[in-house]
Structure 1
Amino acid sequence: MSTRFPRWLLALMLAAPSLAAADYQPPTSRDDGWAVVDARAAHWDMASLAAMEAKLADGSVKGISSVVVAQHGKLVYEGYFNGGDASRLNDVRSASKSVTALLVGAAIDRGLIPSVQALVYDFFPDKRPLQHADTRKQAITLEDLLTMSSLWECNDDNEFSSGNEERMYVTEDWLQFALDLPIKGFAPWMAKPKDSPYGRAFSYCTAGAFVAGAVVERATHRGLAAFAADVLEKPLGITTVQWNQSPLGIGMGGGGTRYRSRDLAKLGELALDGGRWQGRQVISAAWIKQMLTAHAQARDDADYGYLWWCFRFPVHGSDQVTWAMSGNGGNYVFVMPSQQLVAVITSTAFNQRNAHQQSQAIFRDYVLKALP
């Protein structure tokens, strides 16, 4: 059988890359501090980017509202889907936790919090007496909260857990709820801290991230949103944002903050560039390094820093460390230092079983394969 292609098919195959390149629109240059570059000039694989857009258009991927990609400090791709646009404030859910980690660093940089070894309960003397009093609770540090490894019986992945976030939301005093949590026990099949990687037993706990934000408020004597605006958002040129509060007015450092996609990319670039934005040191390099260091094993395939996830994704056949802000619905800000890459994927697929997998697949199968 002949292996020659029909002329019309050969012409179509040869035309495909140029068609993909013709459809591509470089990111828009705006007055927001981002430099932009044409991905074609930067030698990105335009066919991979076109295939990504086709995948997002065929209906098999649900809820993706934006994909924004930057490399070497410049935006190379910006796409909006399913009603998303550049001005939309994306509810990134638990990706907000990573912002709280940046704010803890800003407070430590200013000497307002002594260190991550600061004792959590010392910031809240007014919340005593406590339920389930235990000397081990008094030893819980800010670092325990940042690494999701406190001894509180708090597990958002277990509906029966005393500290499950849904139980917190139906109470008025979220802070008291968290501080009153009992010490957890370790069943025979559960790894104790001393037997766990990094010496910490990970348990995903939104209440702990909320309390970390409350520590920042107590230490700075400012609301979380106001502190974030001054030390993080304004220096990054972020002018539009929405923070949530608990029923008693404490900033919600555990989730639900809303940012525009290009502003989320700025947060990723800040982490990538050692706390700098456009040459200005916004958060200390020392804190960024400490924040983006593995301190706990979250899953068999993921480690955890200070409220940042650590994954590994393949690039040109070799797995590369990738730090990530991650939130319900498949919201991500990926930071891959080896490629000087930041990728934002926003999504509204909240509480959907495959939301995280589909966002990670977009990053892995299209963005990374399009790399020069």
Structure 2
Amino acid sequence: MLNGTTLDLRALDIYTLTLAAGKTYTLPANNNLDQLIVVKSGSVNIILKDTTQLVGPGSIALVLVGDQISFKNPSTKPVSWFILGYQSINPVNLQRGYNAGPSFIKDWNKLKVNKSAKGETRSLFDRATTMFERFEIHATALNPGYASHDPHTHRVEEIILMLNGGVLETINQDLKDAHAGDCIYLASGSLHRPINNTNQQCYYLAIQWHNLKPTNKPIIMVIQRRDFLKNTTIGIAGLSLAPLFGESLFAAPTAHTFRKSTPEQQGITSSSILDFITKAEAGKLGLHSLMIIRNGYVVAEGWWDPYKPDLKHVLNSLSKSFTSTAIGFAVSEGLLSVEDKVTKFFPNDVPANPSPYLNDMQIKHLLTMTTGHEADTSGPMRSDNQVWTKGFLSLPVQRQPGTYFLYNSGATYMLSAIITKVSGKTMFDYLTPRLFKPLEISGIDWEVSPQGINTGGWGLRIKTEDIAKLGVLYLQNGKWNGKQLLPATWAHDATTYKVPNTPVKGQDTSVSDWQQGYCYQFWRCRHNFFRGDGAQGQYCLVSRDLNTVIAITSEVQDMQKTLNYVWDYLLPGIKPSTLPADTANQNALNQKLATLTLLPAKTDFGQSTRALISGKTFNIKDNALAVSRASLTFNADECIFILKGNQTEQNITCGLNKWIKGETTTAGVSAQNAIARK
């Protein structure tokens, strides 16, 4: 199978042997190599010194320098096994190896199994040997659609030996399919990640050896059973690739709550999902993430690198649907009623001469965006450093509340302020034991006003899976894991038609998802969906008819275009019942989801331009943002951007033709809730 040298190995020889029924074979002692035996198929008696043990596939034997091993096939069928012979570049240390223990046999069926949502793991051994300071082998089973880990690199070399099933292996910027019997060599420093892209569980052994010699020369090689190269060193036969970026450009899809399934098992065609993604990329919809859940199963999920599963994403107005949920809890606890007058909660903030319709405004008008205002209040209420609630109540209410729809983020802020009034807590703290903790939504933050009240209508930052969790909660009429968290009446009332949207001149209402009616901080959609959404393309789409939730984050101006793509390309593939397996399209979809990326925009700052501006401070004229000075300082592949205001200074390190992680803070977010920017 393989014969050659590597960075840490003077010799590496991998091959298979097959033993006919009833036959015996002795592997001669080797005074130069340790040897690792891995049973490939069948059951075989392994004789090692004074021990004879009958073992099956996955079982291993470690044979130290100078020891002899024999095999006897007691069955009526052939048996086969892998043999890995190896010699370290460092001198053989017999004392170290035998101090750690003698040669041994490990029976696969007697190994401890550690199960998880991904699959399971088994540790075969982790010890010193005559060749290495440390030699470690573990077995991993991956369920369909799961990745073993995020793409990463490490100093040690590694061999992946496929026992059954298949994986799609990311190796730097390359992708390789590997199946039972294949061997993958991962050189020191190579970026890698295996994902099970089949519809059945797969098993593989991960073999690592630890030497102390440093390196910065990644070499990558994949050896497949169909095209093994013999009598060639790895350095010559292997594919040498230098990473384009210092960290992964492949985001790892990792859901932590929902079960996984193939699309076809839940009645969705893989081809329709693949078509949606392909068309969305071609249509420049700027997708950051996608998660599709049907019947409680994740059937597809992906993140366009540098976005990651654990990265909080700004929701913009999708935050409003979480605010509606808080009101639902408060109603169920008797803290308020949707019929309550808004002024009731803020007697000290009501102006001496209120607008005529102000006293008619009720909580339900805040919820349905029918407060009677003719312009969004979120800007004016924040002007002149005033108390936001007082600013809202001071604005003219030109129409009778309940008669005129106007999208109004200030109304949602007032809902948050009311929650704080009746509960004595911020809405974030109020929702934590009622919503966030039961749904296992953690590591999130929500912006606050100068008065310490969560902004309500915007400013919540959560993960894609958390968006999907809210959708599933409402899909299940307020139930989570069989428990009624949110009253079913609220889950129904909040997502059903309440008021018509104000028509837009020249707009065909039959094809606009902003003309299907408004609920309690949710929108009605075509095709009997409802949704929460936020500016620049944050969506939580829910269909009770289809038992489906679609969560999307993105950066797009034409949000209707994204919905059109969902209806045109994805929706036709959602069928009433289970579909036959479609291995070809499932594999194509898995490969697509594993390689989603947003490449940085290419920049070309010539040396003369850099020299002209690098390190210089530029004064900026008076402006609404109170930005006074800015500077750019260039080095080889980065630029440090400094932006100064009256009381603040932002230092941002920008990559040149690459992504760099960083953090900034924004007004309204406490230091402990600093958010990640890329």
Category of TM-score, reference length = shorter chain:
0.7 to 0.9
Give the Cα–Cα distance (whole angstroms) in 2 for the partners of residues 84 and 222 of structure 1: 32
Contact 2:500-2:518 within 8 A present in 1 as well: yes
Which residue in the other structure is 1:168 paired with?
A: 381
- Is the partner of 1:203 in helix, strand or coil? coil
**What does the per-residue CA deviation read over 1:273-314, in whole Å, with 9 as the maximum and x for residues that have no partner?**
1101111111100111111221111154320110100011xx
Counterpart residue type for residue 308 of structure 1: F
Give the Cα–Cα distance (whole angstroms) in 2 for the partners of residues 170 and 63 of structure 1: 33
Aligned residues: 318
Answer 1 or 2: which has greater strand percent: 2
Give the Cα–Cα distance (whole angstroms) in 1 for the partners of residues 308 and 570 of structure 2: 19
Give the Cα–Cα distance (whole angstroms) in 1 for the partners of residues 365 and 353 of structure 2: 19
- Is the partner of 2:301 in helix, strand or coil? strand
1:41-190 matches, cutoff 5 A: 41-58=265-282, 60-113=283-336, 115-128=337-350, 130=351, 132-151=353-372, 153-156=373-376, 163=377, 165-172=378-385, 173-185=387-399
CA distance 1:155–1:83, change in 2 (3 Å): farther
Query: 2:481 aligned to 278, 287, 290, which one?
Result: 278
> What is the RMSD computed on CA atoms of the aligned residues?
2.4
Answer 1 or 2: which has greater helix percent: 1
CA distance 1:43–1:142, change in 2 (3 Å): closer
Which residue in the other structure is 1:333 paired with?
A: 540
Give the Cα–Cα distance (whole angstroms) in 1 for the partners of residues 323 and 352 of structure 2: 26
Query: 2:564 aligned to 337, 361, 364, which one?
Result: 361
How far did 1:265 drift? Answer: 0.3
CA distance 1:141–1:274, change in 2 (3 Å): same
How far did 1:29 drift? Answer: 6.3
Contact 2:477-2:491 within 8 A present in 1 as well: yes
- Does residue 256 (structure 1) correspond to residue 478 (structure 2)? The answer is no
How far did 1:212 drift? Answer: 0.9
Give the Cα–Cα distance (whole angstroms) in 1 for the partners of residues 198 and 314 of structure 2: 26
Unmatched runs of 5 consecutive residues or more in structure 2: 1-176, 178-194, 200-251, 503-508, 510-514, 576-678
Which residue in the other structure is 2:263 paired with?
A: 39
Give the Cα–Cα distance (whole angstroms) in 2 for the partners of residues 25 and 178 of structure 1: 56
Which residue in the other structure is 2:654 paired with?
A: none
How far did 1:242 drift? Answer: 1.3
- Is the partner of 1:200 in helix, strand or coil? coil
Contact 2:368-2:498 within 8 A present in 1 as well: yes
Which residue in the other structure is 1:5 paired with?
A: none
Give the Cα–Cα distance (whole angstroms) in 1 for the partners of residues 281 and 494 of structure 2: 37
Counterpart residue type for residue 76 of structure 1: V
Give the Cα–Cα distance (whole angstroms) in 1 for the partners of residues 390 and 560 of structure 2: 35
Give the Cα–Cα distance (whole angstroms) in 2 for the partners of residues 139 and 255 of structure 1: 26
Give the Cα–Cα distance (whole angstroms) in 2 for the partners of residues 362 and 85 of structure 1: 23
How far did 1:233 drift? Answer: 0.7
The structure with higher relative contact order (CA 8 Å, sep 6+) is: 1
**What does the per-residue CA deviation read over 1:163-184, in whole Å, with 9 as the maximum and x for residues that have no partner?**
2x33334443221111111121
Give the Cα–Cα distance (whole angstroms) in 2 for the partners of residues 169 and 90 of structure 1: 24
Which residue in the other structure is 1:242 paired with?
A: 445
- Does residue 308 (structure 1) correspond to residue 308 (structure 2)? The answer is no
- Does residue 321 (structure 1) correspond to residue 528 (structure 2)? The answer is yes
CA distance 1:134–1:272, change in 2 (3 Å): same
Contact 2:356-2:397 within 8 A present in 1 as well: no
Unmatched runs of 5 consecutive residues or more in structure 1: 1-18, 157-162, 186-191, 194-198, 313-319
Give the Cα–Cα distance (whole angstroms) in 1 for the partners of residues 486 and 384 of structure 2: 34
Give the Cα–Cα distance (whole angstroms) in 2 for the partners of residues 206 and 236 of structure 1: 26
Give the Cα–Cα distance (whole angstroms) in 2 for the partners of residues 51 and 335 of structure 1: 20
Give the Cα–Cα distance (whole angstroms) in 2 for the partners of residues 210 and 117 of structure 1: 18
Counterpart residue type for residue 354 of structure 2: A
How far did 1:40 drift? Answer: 3.3
Counterpart residue type for residue 392 of structure 2: A
Give the Cα–Cα distance (whole angstroms) in 2 for the partners of residues 102 and 50 of structure 1: 33
Contact 1:206-1:254 within 8 A present in 2 as well: yes
Contact 2:355-2:395 within 8 A present in 1 as well: no
How far did 1:38 drift? Answer: 1.6
How far did 1:137 drift? Answer: 1.1
CA distance 1:35–1:183, change in 2 (3 Å): same
How far did 1:359 drift? Answer: 2.0
**What does the per-residue CA deviation read over 1:178-204, in whole Å, with 9 as the maximum and x for residues that have no partner?**
11111215xxxxxx77xxxxx632111
**What does the per-residue CA deviation read over 1:229-252, in whole Å, with 9 as the maximum and x for residues that have no partner?**
121111111112110111221111
How far did 1:256 drift? Answer: 1.9
Contact 1:98-1:308 within 8 A present in 2 as well: yes
- Is the partner of 2:275 in helix, strand or coil? helix
How far did 1:25 drift? Answer: 7.6
**Which structure has the larger Rg?**
2
How far did 1:362 drift? Answer: 3.2
- Does residue 202 (structure 1) correspond to residue 405 (structure 2)? The answer is yes
1:4-23 matches, cutoff 5 A: none
**What does the per-residue CA deviation read over 1:93-141, in whole Å, with 9 as the maximum and x for residues that have no partner?**
001111111000011111111x10011111112224x165145312211
Counterpart residue type for residue 545 of structure 2: S
Contact 2:254-2:309 within 8 A present in 1 as well: no
My pick for the range that moved more, 98-107 or 119-128, is 119-128
Which residue in the other structure is 1:159 paired with?
A: none
Counterpart residue type for residue 324 of structure 1: R
Give the Cα–Cα distance (whole angstroms) in 2 for the partners of residues 171 and 62 of structure 1: 37
Identity, in percent, stands at 26
- Is the partner of 1:126 in helix, strand or coil? coil
